[in-house]
Amino acid sequence: MSNILKKRKILIPEPKSRFLLVQCVECENQQVIFDHASTEVPCIVCGRVLARPTGGKAEVLAKVIRVLE
């Protein structure tokens, strides 16, 4: 019985969505956004739109600093 369990591997799928650390191009504020945002994401300091929804992945209009794990 244990040989059967050792041969079977259960694959866990990785999520396709990530959180991003972005920097606003206008005021240089850094904030975390979701890359599959379903609404417009404004900068919390100046109000400029950082990400716009497209139905899947959001269109990121800010500078991406890094992808968070």
* 21, β-bridge pairs: 32, 66
How many other CB atoms are found less than 10 A from the CB of residue 63? 13
Mean predicted lDDT score pLDDT of the chain: 89
Q: Note whether 52 and 61 are within 8 A (CB).
A: yes
**pLDDT tens-digit profile of 20-33?**
999 999 999 999 99
Q: What global pTM score does this model have? A: 0.77
User: From CA 33, how far away is CA 52, in angstroms rounded?
Assistant: 11
Mean pLDDT for 38-45 is: 96
